[in-house]
Structures are given as structure tokens and as C-alpha cells.
Structure 1
Amino acid sequence: MAALAMALAWALASVPAMAAGPVLAGGVPTTGWITLGTAGGPVASPTRSQPANALVTPDGVYLVDCGDGCVEQLAKAGIGLDRIKGLFISHLHYDHVGGVSALLGLRHQTSNYAPLPIYGPPGTQAMVDGLIAAMRPFTELGYGLPGVPSIDPATTVRVTEMRGGESGALNGLRFANAQNTHYSFAPGSAEDARFRSLAWRFETGGRSYVFTGDTGPSQAVIDLARGADVLISEIIDLDATVGLVQRQNPNMSAQGKAGMLQHLSHHHLPAAEVGRMAQAAGVRQLVVTHYAPSNPSAALVARMRAQIAARYHGPVVMARDVARY
């Protein structure tokens, strides 16, 4: 009975994913969004991988964040590294970029030397430079065969830093971004100049996808998402997340608790706010990912969905790993 109840709760907590259009050989759709990893936060989950997404287009596959385990999740989705044509990063918290090292290193190890375009906020170049430096002992070693020339890993990446409010195109993919509210640095401050968190909008195959990244309530994200076909949003249940953090850190200082509460309550989206922003933007479908806590019970997922539905009247999907939309 418990298993049946859980299955029923999951069924009530989601609607079927939208059809992704034509399918390539191997079962990969030509256009669509794949939630590779749907966990939220830096604590590893036994049931969900770290935050990562794949935007599949006729021209190739583009990663949107690349948390730990991203390469393995791509394999589960039937996507080889040779199909990855770009990486977009929302922000530099490690749960969102922990898999970049494996992505770059395994591309190199499998002789994929084509420069990978990487778009991200300020600091992305410094992060990638460090990863490239860490790759050099391997790339100089190769497979241990004397006389074989090595390929400089710095030639296999191309970084573009963006600050929000910018747009561009990569192959057949058009993109734009906006600075969101995952940080509380005062506009114009030195910290605001150094650190940005971005939401992204993508246009491909006649469809538009908006990824909130990690954010608190944000009019800029609403404006970016206006009329989009799919909004992919983060979500938090504050009470459950605070309780989990306190159980894991029973000796946390008062100052630490205050900082944690400020971050969780101002820099993330509770379910009602997810629904409000989706409704205000007029999006056609909402996909919810980046769960906090990262192992929500079926009952909690159902409650989140009900809170969203009270504000947003379109179709809602509570995403799972390696699901396609």
C-alpha cells in the first residue's frame, strides 16, 4: 500500500512531458529540454543528480549548468560528448559547476579537441583557467606512449563572460540573459561587479525555453520569460530545508543560522512564488527542478505542486532526472 500511495502521489504531482518533436537515431529528440540533474544544494542526493540540463537542438546539444555527475547523466540520456556544442553557466556555486572538470577532461581524453564555447558570469574564465591547469599533467602524459605530441587543453575551450542583459547566437541557437536575485550585493558595489547570477533564455526550433537558475523573486526573470513556451524554475520548501540543515549542523553558530536563513529565504523561490512568476510571465508550461530539499517526499512534491497551481493556471511538471520536455 505504501508503494501504491507513493506512486499515486507522484502521478498527481506531475503532468506528462510535452512532446519534444522529431527524434534522431538513438532516441534523442531534435529539439527539447532534458533535466539531467534535479537536486538542489551542495549535499549529494542518493536519488537525484546535481543540477544540470541539456538543451537539444538540430545543431547539437547545449548544457545549461553542469553539476557533479553530468557526464553520467548524459550517458543515461543517450547523448555522447561529441554532441555537446556549448555550455551555459548560471552561477559559480559548486553544485552547478562541479561536473565541468569531468566534461573538459573526458572530452580531451576521447580526442574531442574542438573548442567548447562556455558562457557564464564574471569569474567563469578564472574557474576554467584553473581546471585547464589541473588537466595539464594528464594531457602531457597522454596514454603513456613516447613521442606522441600533446594537445594544449587551453585550445579546447572558449570562454565568454556575461553580466546580464546581453544576447547572442551560437550556431542556430539564440540566447539572452538577465541578472537574477540569487545574490544580495548592492548594485554598483565591488561585489556586484565581481559576482553575478544569471537566468537564461534560449530560442531554437520555433520554441523558447527560459531557465531561472538559482534566484529569489525577480522582475527581471519575469521579463526574460515573457511568453516563453517552457519555464524551467528552481524551487524551495523553506521549512523542510531549514529543518534538514539544522539536523545536519546541530552546532551551527547563531551567526551561521542567520546567514543561512537570509540566503534560503531571499535567494530561492518557494512554490507560491514560482507560480506567481510563471503566471506573471504568461509562460505556456512550467517545469520545476532544483528541489530543496533535494530528496523531497512524494507528499512534499504534491504539496509544492498544489501551491504552484494556486497561482499558475498552466500545465506543471515536477521534473525528475533525465526527463525530456
Structure 2
Amino acid sequence: MKLGLAAGAAGLIPTALKASSPGASASHKGAKLVLLGTKGGPRVGGSRSNPANALVVDDAVYVIDMGMGVTAQFVKAGLDYKQIRGLFISHLHSDHELEFGNLVYNDWVTNSLTKPLNAYGPVGIEEMIKNYWALNKDDINTRIADEGRVDPRDLLIGHDMPFTKHVVMQDDHVRVSALPTPHKPLQNFAYRFDTPYGSVVYSGDTSFYPPLAEFAKGADVLVHEVLYVPGVDALTKRVNGGEDFRNHIINAHTTTEQVGQIAAMAGVKKLVLSHFVPGDMSWITDDMWREGVAKHYKGEIVVGRDLQEIPLS
């Protein structure tokens, strides 16, 4: 779905995009999604980093979820701190927000954070920001005094969002909408980003939820979390978990077949699998992730990889 947010959008070629190096000032036109981290859950290890994504629209970057490793992945992707225009957190599980404060901190110490930056998420974001500044107050105050830096506490603005379907924000590059989805006991938001070059929907963490298909209707790209049941059985055995542990994971996420059903109902052009549960078992092949999905969805299926770029068309 194309959205005329900016004049002259027609005719631009998003596939020509190349990420800029940190601090670079080169100008690009187009849009792409960068998968910074594709492994579900808080465990660190394996070949995948924890959940994080970046949507690049022209010279603006919007970061969606900030699990452990997001700052290093952001740099590896060649993205520019100076271009960050908004931060979005789907829910308050640690694998989605644990490095939120540190990403902003590194934005600040590179002298890139010079104007207000808005962060959006469920109720608790504003308190989390206050707690982060309190945790690091000695370092921040010292650097302001010794290095002449601006005070970052005046620049990061948190927004606790109501748990309702609503338009979050809109600027010259993107309109962002949010949809509550079931991920008990926490509040999770799916996000839809409509740009002049196309639309991308990010599911966040959710169990099977048909209203998400309506929310994603006609999108160019749907990025959906995915669970592989035999992998969860192996995970349960690995951590000596019981039936309650297994059921919690199964009931809080979306199986491969269910993801295929959502994508088919939504009629999206491309489905990107991410937030793999489990995401650190090398014996689970790409074909295994695709198999259940393909029973229902006949469009393009991308088994996401860290630092993979998905252009919008």
C-alpha cells in the first residue's frame, strides 16, 4: 500500500538504497526494513541477536524493539544515529526493551542526540526512562560537566500509550498505527508503518489473533513472530521445564501454520518470519520454518536473518 506522505515519492527506486555509515550525511531516497535481531526470547547466544528492527525511510530511521545487542547491530548495519526519528517498543518483556536506554545513551555520547526524540510503547515506558536516567545519573552529570554535553534527560520523551487501536504519530515520512494483541500477561502492540513507498506491519509478540490480519490488510510486508512446536518441545526438555512452561510458550506465541493463516487472510505481498521461538537451535532449518506457513500462505516467505534488508516496493 502506497501512502502519499511526501511529494515526489512516485518513481523512486527503493532497491537502490544502501545503508549509510554512522555519522554519514549521504542522502538516500526509498524505504527498507533492516532486521537487526531475529531471535525470540531473552537468552543470549547462537547465531541470532535478540529482537530489534529498523525501518529506514529516506533519511529517517525508526527503531522497533530494542533487545540485547541492538546498539552493536545498529552500527554493523551501517545506520546513522543522527537519523533516528522515533523509537517503538511492542511490549515490556526484556528481550524487547532491555537495551532501549543504552541505545539512546550511545546516540547521546556520539553527539548525535541533539533534538527531542520520542519513544512510544505500553504504559511503563515513561517510568522506565526515569529509572534509566536515575541509574546512570553520576556518569551523565560528570560528562555534562567535564565534556560540555547537552543533558539527554531533556531530549528523550516517553509516551505511555493507551491499550487501544490508534494512530501513534505521523510525520513527513511515515504514519504509525498501533493495534493491541494478546500476549498475556503483558500488553503488546503490533505496529503498522505506512510510508510513501509502501507499508510494513510488525506483529510484536502475539498468539494467533485474526484482527491482526485485518490490521495488516494489503500491506507490502508483514513481519510476524513464529513458533516451531517441535523446537519448543526440545526447549522445554533443555531447561527442565514442565507442562506449564511449555503451555505458556505455546499459548503466548503463533505457530508456523497460524502465521500462514494470518498472512493469507491479510493478503500481504511478502511475509517475513522473525522472532523465532526457539531461535538458537541450529537443527531447525529454513524449510522447517516455512513448511507450516506454506500450507496456508502462497506468497513470498522470507526466513529472516540478522542484518537482512527488506526493501519496500
Match for residue 276 of structure 1 among 258, 261, 268:
261
Partner of 1:235: 226
Instruction: For 1:118 and 1:43, locate their aligned partners in 2 and report how far apart those are by CA, in whole Å.
Output: 25
Match for residue 286 of structure 2 among 286, 301, 315:
301
What does the per-residue CA deviation read over 1:260-314, in whole Å, with 9 as the maximum and x for residues that have no partner?
Answer: 2232111101100010100011111000011111124365331220211111010
Partner of 2:295: 310
Structure 2 residue ranges without an equivalent (≥5): 1-12, 22-27
What does the per-residue CA deviation read over 1:120-140, in whole Å, with 9 as the maximum and x for residues that have no partner?
Answer: 011111112111212311111
Normalising by structure 2, report the TM-score: 0.86
- Asked whether the equivalents of residues 105 and 135 of structure 1 are also in contact (C-alpha less than 8 Å), the reply is no
Instruction: For 1:48 and 1:116, locate their aligned partners in 2 and report how far apart those are by CA, in whole Å.
Output: 28
Normalising by structure 1, report the TM-score: 0.83
For the aligned residues, what is the CA RMSD? 2.1
Instruction: For 1:25 and 1:217, locate their aligned partners in 2 and report how far apart those are by CA, in whole Å.
Output: 34
Partner of 1:119: 120
Give the CA deviation at 1:45: 2.0
- Asked whether the equivalents of residues 29 and 56 of structure 1 are also in contact (C-alpha less than 8 Å), the reply is no
Spell out the pairing of 1:205-284 with structure 2 (5 A cutoff).
205-248=196-239, 250=240, 252=241, 257-284=242-269
What does the per-residue CA deviation read over 1:163-191, in whole Å, with 9 as the maximum and x for residues that have no partner?
Answer: 2301031342101111111115xxxxxxx
Give the CA deviation at 1:29: 6.9
| Bigger helix fraction | 1
Instruction: For 1:285 and 1:22, locate their aligned partners in 2 and report how far apart those are by CA, in whole Å.
Output: 19
Instruction: For 1:89 and 1:98, locate their aligned partners in 2 and report how far apart those are by CA, in whole Å.
Output: 10
Instruction: For 1:200 and 1:311, locate their aligned partners in 2 and report how far apart those are by CA, in whole Å.
Output: 23
Report the AA paired with residue 88 of structure 1: F
- Asked whether the equivalents of residues 39 and 51 of structure 1 are also in contact (C-alpha less than 8 Å), the reply is yes
Partner of 1:21: 15
- Asked whether the equivalents of residues 29 and 59 of structure 2 are also in contact (C-alpha less than 8 Å), the reply is no
Instruction: For 1:301 and 1:261, locate their aligned partners in 2 and report how far apart those are by CA, in whole Å.
Output: 23
The 3 A distance-change label for structure 1 pair 25 and 69 is closer
The 3-state SS of whatever aligns with 2:15 is coil
Structure 1 residue ranges without an equivalent (≥5): 1-18, 185-194
The 3 A distance-change label for structure 1 pair 321 and 43 is same
How many residue pairs end up in the alignment?
289
Spell out the pairing of 1:166-205 with structure 2 (5 A cutoff).
166-167=166-167, 168-183=169-184, 195-205=186-196
Spell out the pairing of 1:80-159 with structure 2 (5 A cutoff).
80-111=80-111, 112-142=113-143, 145=146, 151-159=150-158
Instruction: For 1:25 and 1:259, locate their aligned partners in 2 and report how far apart those are by CA, in whole Å.
Output: 44
Instruction: For 1:299 and 1:121, locate their aligned partners in 2 and report how far apart those are by CA, in whole Å.
Output: 33
